[in-house]
Structure 1
Amino acid sequence: MSDDHARVQEFFTARAADWDSRFPDDGPAYAAAVAGLGLGEGDRVLDAGCGTGRALPPLRAAVGAAGVVVGVDLTWAMLGAAVRAGRHRDGWLLLSDVGALPLGAESFDAVFAAGLVAHLPRPAENLRELRRVVRPGGTLALFHPIGRAALAARQGRQITSDDLRAEPNLRRLLAASGWRMTSYTDEDDRFLALAVRED
């Protein structure tokens, strides 16, 4: 395991037990972001870096009983919290690094990723791996329940020009990883970038 992975696991393991109680009002933002993916009945969707599984219920609702929902996370403690919350009933949970997914090529219609980009050790490489598991024309949603400025204020830091989630930086990163950004929203109550897999 790399030092980057160990740091991510340590960070989230320490916070898993009370993660949902720290952010109790995020549910509607997750549901709205999932709606932005345009999923339909029977679609297959991956929740990359699913954490405690807060996106799994709206993802299941979007794809229906015939659809496939898979949640992947690097941290046992977060997956355990998802199970305790009963969210495992909405999708399969898998312990895995999003940079090396044990999933077939082109096996999903969409990827949902909440708060993931900032924790990727090799963003371009990791986004290429997410591209690998999505069919051509499939979609990617990079989401956070609050925008960049609100998140920076919460963390007591300033936004800098090299912020990976700034629109020009993210657009370049996605393009270099085989994705084309189709929309970008960065407001106090939501960050959502949508992209389509290029052939």
Structure 2
Amino acid sequence: MSDDHAHVQEFFAARAAGWDTRFPDDGPAYEAAVADLGLREGDRVLDAGCGTGRALPPLRAAVGPSGVVLGADLTPAMLEAAVRAGRGREGRLLLTDVAALPLCSESLDAVFAAGLIAHLPQPEDNLRELARVVRPGGVLALFHPIGRAALAARHGRRITPDDLRAEPNLRSLLSASGWRLTSYADEDARFLALAVRSN
């Protein structure tokens, strides 16, 4: 395991048990972001960096019983918290690195990723791996339940021009990794960038 991966795993393992109680009001924001993905009955979707599985129930509701819902995370403690919360019933949980997914190419219709991009050690390569597992025309949602300014303020920082999630930076990054940015919202109450997998 790389130092980057070990650091991410250590960070989230220490916070897994109390994660959901720290952010108890995020449910509606997750549901709204999943709705914006435009999933249909029977679709196949991955929650990349699923953490405690907060997106899994709305993802399951969107694709119905005939759809496939996968949740992938690098941190065992996060997946254990997802199971304790009963979210393991909503989809199949995978202990894996989103940089090397054990999935066939073009096997998914969509990827949902909440808070993931800030923790990717090699964002362009990692987003290219997400593109690999999605069919052409499939969708990626990069989500956070609060916007960039609110998140920076929460951590006592300011937004800098090199922030990966700034629209020009993100558009360029997605384009270089097989995605085309189609919609971008950075508001106090949420961050949501939608992209379509290029052919």
The TM tier, using the shorter chain, reads: over 0.9
Q: Which residue of 2 aligns with 1:25?
A: 25
Q: Which residue of 2 aligns with 1:12?
A: 12
In 1, the alpha carbon distance for the partners of 2:112 and 2:5 equals: 20
In 2, the alpha carbon distance for the partners of 1:44 and 1:102 equals: 15
In 1, the alpha carbon distance for the partners of 2:17 and 2:104 equals: 32
Q: Which residue of 2 aligns with 1:144?
A: 144
In 1, the alpha carbon distance for the partners of 2:150 and 2:164 equals: 16
Following superposition, the deviation at residue 143 of structure 1 comes to 0.1
Displaced runs of 4+ in structure 1, greater than 2 A? none
In 2, the alpha carbon distance for the partners of 1:7 and 1:189 equals: 28
Following superposition, the deviation at residue 64 of structure 1 comes to 0.2
- Secondary structure in 2 matching 1:193: strand
- Secondary structure in 2 matching 1:17: coil
1:46-195 equivalences in 2 (<5 Å): 46-195=46-195
Following superposition, the deviation at residue 108 of structure 1 comes to 0.4
Q: Which amino acid aligns with 2:144?
A: H
**1:128-181, Cα deviation, whole Å (9 max, x unpaired):** 000000000000000000000000010000100000000000000000001000
Query: Could you state the TM-score of these two structures normalised by the residue count of structure 2?
Result: 1.00
In 1, the alpha carbon distance for the partners of 2:67 and 2:193 equals: 23
In 2, the alpha carbon distance for the partners of 1:158 and 1:182 equals: 26
**1:54-99, Cα deviation, whole Å (9 max, x unpaired):** 0000000000000000000000000000000000000000000000
Q: Which amino acid aligns with 1:44?
A: R
Query: Could you state the TM-score of these two structures normalised by the residue count of structure 1?
Result: 1.00
Q: Which residue of 2 aligns with 1:43?
A: 43
- Count how many residue pairs are aligned between Structure 1 and Structure 2: 199
Q: Which amino acid aligns with 1:152?
A: A
**1:24-48, Cα deviation, whole Å (9 max, x unpaired):** 0000000000001000000000000
- Secondary structure in 2 matching 1:98: coil
Where structure 2 has 5 or more consecutive residues not aligned to the other structure, the ranges are none
**1:12-35, Cα deviation, whole Å (9 max, x unpaired):** 000000000000000000000000
In 1, the alpha carbon distance for the partners of 2:110 and 2:102 equals: 16
In 1, the alpha carbon distance for the partners of 2:14 and 2:158 equals: 25
In 2, the alpha carbon distance for the partners of 1:101 and 1:42 equals: 21
In 2, the alpha carbon distance for the partners of 1:107 and 1:50 equals: 18
Q: Which amino acid aligns with 2:47?
A: D
In 2, the alpha carbon distance for the partners of 1:3 and 1:145 equals: 28
In 1, the alpha carbon distance for the partners of 2:196 and 2:159 equals: 27
In 2, the alpha carbon distance for the partners of 1:168 and 1:106 equals: 27
In 2, the alpha carbon distance for the partners of 1:158 and 1:4 equals: 23
In 1, the alpha carbon distance for the partners of 2:19 and 2:146 equals: 15
